[in-house]
A and B are shown apart, each in its own frame.
Chain A
């Protein structure tokens, strides 16, 4: 009897673990079964390399290049902001700050991490955008630049907390050896600690990249929504996630447009999947 209970319990926990695998395959199956049919209407080369996204025209154009570029532009912009801010605060917390300033800085960063993305979107739309119009005299404040700023701030906590973990695992005797050789604090940070923590820092940046490229609400509200390849950062763009989220509600289920949106999701999934792989490999290397 007792043995029976043991087996049942183990069975339950096994089934629960199995569920995560089922969900992952479910997601992949969903994306591909709904996304691949778009290749009946457009060949894969045009789908990925044509900048013309006119899904509701007759005949429709299903080129996603401008959407992919849109995503890459805002994500790059976000990282340009988030890497110095996030890595900078991580270095400061781990190497320079005393216990008291740590107690102030860490909650600030945790607070940033807890804010829902839609509230960031509201801030960008209702406050930042009019502000940028005033300051830069640009025609619209909803563009790649403003989306990058807000997205960048969203990514800061990710880069900061993971880099800090990486920096704090660097053995103390490396620092001490560096000081003993006459290096000052800054030289030790740049030449000893950062290189030693390199793989963790890279992981944190990859993770930030994955989060930024997958973020929906901020870009749908702030990036401006124009499906074009921007010639300036002050032009509106339409990242992949924004296209999926804003157009899915207006399409007919099973239409070419519907399948095209799932096709974009496949591209997005593959990008985040590869990002994940790189992150894990960087970690594996670290363990060795």
Chain B
């Protein structure tokens, strides 16, 4: 083996090693979480309220809390994101305004989630007096999801061939009719995929809801959007850092992690399947 071949051999195998290390970490990670958390899973764990200061019982209120926070925040950020994307793609004037919006989106995408939490605390919790509530938390998460949503929608809209738009306009349709009846329906599956990916991300966020929505322990389910709620990711954090019965809390945290992981990964899997089907059916 020459020196050059030796270098290549070492280099390529180092790359292989890096991938093996990454894969082994993932396997170990999933094994630890699932083996320790899997045995906690039962109907009563999922459908009951916590008991005895979180040392027994289930996590149903946290599942409900995560559900509402996610649905409401996506319900807010989806239309905002799609409308913004429409403006950027179809109207796109004046150019300085679009460039300004683009800078804003890119900057927002890089803002750490804890800063969104501080923003939510100041604006939604204090200024608008929503207190720590589902509403304040959902609004904070909606703002956090916005850049992802805009980018996904914009990419989807740009993916629609220019001919579609021109054909529609040539038939006498107005800009609005073209957008609503041609562009949006064609881009819809891809927008949907982006939305589902955002759902997975929003459901797993902890930092933005620390001071805007989450509470450690409540036995009752929320009755209005002004209630504070238990939430799956915050529940894991709280179980690990608060309370005095680590021996009983850690297994519940593992169990909660399995539920959260299953939820998030299931949602991503749905997105991947939809995307696959779109690509197969697409004729342009």
Contact = CB atoms under 8 A, between A and B. Distances in A.
A6 B4 CA distance: 66
Given A2-B174, A13-B83, A119 B257 contact: yes
B210 interface: yes
B206 A114 contact: no
Contacts of B19: 88-89, 92, 105
Given A5-B176, A216-B112, A265-B118, A85 B237 contact: no
Interface string A106-130: 0011111011111111110111000
Contacts of A91: 15
Contact of B15 (A92, A108, A110, A253): A92
A85 B18 contact: yes
Interface in B8-35: 8, 11-12, 14-16, 18-19, 21-23, 25-26, 29, 32-33
A286 interface: no
Interface string A13-36: 111111111011011001100100
A261 B113 CA distance: 15
Contact of A122 (B175, B211, B253): B253
A167 interface: no
A33 to B, nearest CB: 8
A30 B264 contact: no
Given A123-B33, A189-B11, A216-B114, A13 B26 contact: no
Interface of B: 4-5, 7-8, 11-12, 14-16, 18-19, 21-23, 25-26, 29, 32-33, 36, 79-80, 83-84, 86-88, 90-91, 97-98, 100-101, 104-108, 110-119, 121-123, 126, 143, 146-147, 150, 174-176, 179-180, 200, 203-207, 210-211, 233-234, 236-237, 240-241, 250, 253-254, 257, 260-261, 264-265, 268
Contact of B22 (A14, A23, A156, A185): A156
Interface string A221-238: 100000000000000000
Interface of A: 2, 5-6, 9-10, 12-21, 23-24, 26-27, 30-31, 34, 84-85, 88-89, 91-92, 96, 105, 108-112, 114-123, 125-127, 153, 156, 184-187, 189-190, 207, 210, 213-217, 220-221, 241, 244-245, 248-249, 253, 261-262, 265, 268-269, 272-273, 275-276, 279-280
B32 A24 contact: no
A275 B110 contact: yes
